[in-house]
C-alpha cells in the first residue's frame, strides 16, 4: 500500500465529478455512504488494487466532503460523461504533443514537465511512464551534490490554495507571463492577486515556515 499520487487524486476527483450525483438520493434514496461505496467499489478498481480499499474509500469520502456540490449536481448522462472524458483526453494529447516536440529538441526536463501535466489532465489516457522512459534515455546522468555534513531541513507543509489539484498554473505575472514548472502549488494566504496569472509583483518573495518555503508575496506561488 502506498500514498496516493497527484494523478491518483485527479482520477478520484474526475470519478466523483462524473458519477457522485448518480449515486445520491433519487428513487432509491441512496445515502452519501452508498455514494462512497458505489464510487470506490464500482469505478476505482485499479486504484483499489494498488492502494487498498480503505485508502480509496477515505479518499472518495474526503473529496465529497470538500466538494458537496458534486453530490447535488444534476445527474450526468452517458453522452455527457463521454464528452467530458474526450475533453480531458484532448488536453492530455495536446500536452503530450508539446512534450514530444520538446523531447525532439533535446529539452528533456521540459518534456518531463509536460508529460506530468498531460497525466494530470487525464490520468487514464495513456501509460505515461512509457513516455517518461523515452525521455529518460536522453537525460544526462545526474551527479548529486555532496551533502556530507549538511544537516537535514524538512520542508513544512503549508495549507494550499487548491489542495485537490486545480487547473495548473499557466504562467506567473500578469505582465511578464513567466514560465512556471507544471504542478507548482499555490500557498494559501492574503495575497493581493487571486491567481499567479494575475500577479503584479512576480519578483518579490518571502520565506515562510521557519525558512523552509519560499513564496511570491504577490500571489502565494511556491517558488522554493
Cα distance between residue 119 and residue 110, in whole Å? 14
Cβ closer to Zn ion: 40 or 219? 219
Contacts of 188 (CB under 8 A, 6+ apart): 158, 159, 160, 161, 220
Cβ closer to Zn ion: 35 or 219? 219
Cα distance between residue 203 and residue 176, in whole Å? 10
Residues near Zn ion (CB under 5 A): 199, 202, 216, 218-219, 221
CB of residue 165 vs Zn ion: minimum separation in angstroms? 19
Report whether 73 contacts 45 (CB < 8 A). no
Cβ closer to Zn ion: 88 or 161? 161
CB of residue 202 vs Zn ion: minimum separation in angstroms? 5
Cα distance between residue 104 and residue 3, in whole Å? 33
Cβ closer to Zn ion: 87 or 176? 176
Cβ closer to Zn ion: 79 or 175? 175
CB of residue 172 vs Zn ion: minimum separation in angstroms? 6
CB of residue 188 vs Zn ion: minimum separation in angstroms? 14
Cα distance between residue 68 and residue 20, in whole Å? 10
End-to-end CA distance of the chain: 30
CB of residue 179 vs Zn ion: minimum separation in angstroms? 13
Amino acid at each position: 500500500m502506498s500514498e496516493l499520487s497527484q494523478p491518483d487524486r485527479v482520477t478520484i476527483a474526475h470519478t466523483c465529478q462524473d458519477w457522485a450525483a448518480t449515486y445520491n438520493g433519487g428513487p432509491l434514496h441512496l445515502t452519501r455512504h452508498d455514494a462512497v461505496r458505489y464510487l470506490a467499489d464500482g469505478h476505482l478498481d485499479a486504484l483499489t488494487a494498488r492502494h487498498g480499499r480503505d485508502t480509496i474509500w477515505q479518499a472518495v469520502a474526503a473529496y465529497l466532503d470538500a466538494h458537496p456540490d458534486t453530490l447535488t449536481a444534476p445527474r450526468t448522462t452517458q453522452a455527457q460523461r463521454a464528452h467530458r472524458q474526450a475533453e480531458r483526453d484532448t488536453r492530455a494529447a495536446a500536452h503530450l504533443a508539446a512534450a514530444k516536440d520538446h523531447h525532439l529538441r533535446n529539452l528533456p526536463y521540459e518534456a518531463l514537465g509536460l508529460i506530468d501535466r498531460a497525466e494530470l489532465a487525464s490520468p487514464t489516457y495513456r501509460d505515461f511512464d512509457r513516455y517518461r522512459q523515452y525521455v529518460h534515455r536522453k537525460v544526462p546522468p545526474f551527479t548529486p551534490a555532496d551533502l556530507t555534513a549538511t544537516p537535514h531541513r524538512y520542508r513544512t507543509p503549508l495549507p494550499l490554495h487548491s489542495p485537490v489539484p486545480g487547473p495548473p498554473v499557466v504562467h506567473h505575472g500578469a505582465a511578464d507571463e513567466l514560465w512556471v514548472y507544471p504542478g507548482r502549488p499555490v500557498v494559501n494566504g492574503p495575497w493581493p492577486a487571486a491567481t499567479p496569472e494575475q500577479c503584479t509583483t512576480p519578483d518579490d518573495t518571502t520565506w515562510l515556515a521557519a525558512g523552509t518555503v519560499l513564496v511570491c508575496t504577490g500571489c502565494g506561488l511556491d517558488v522554493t
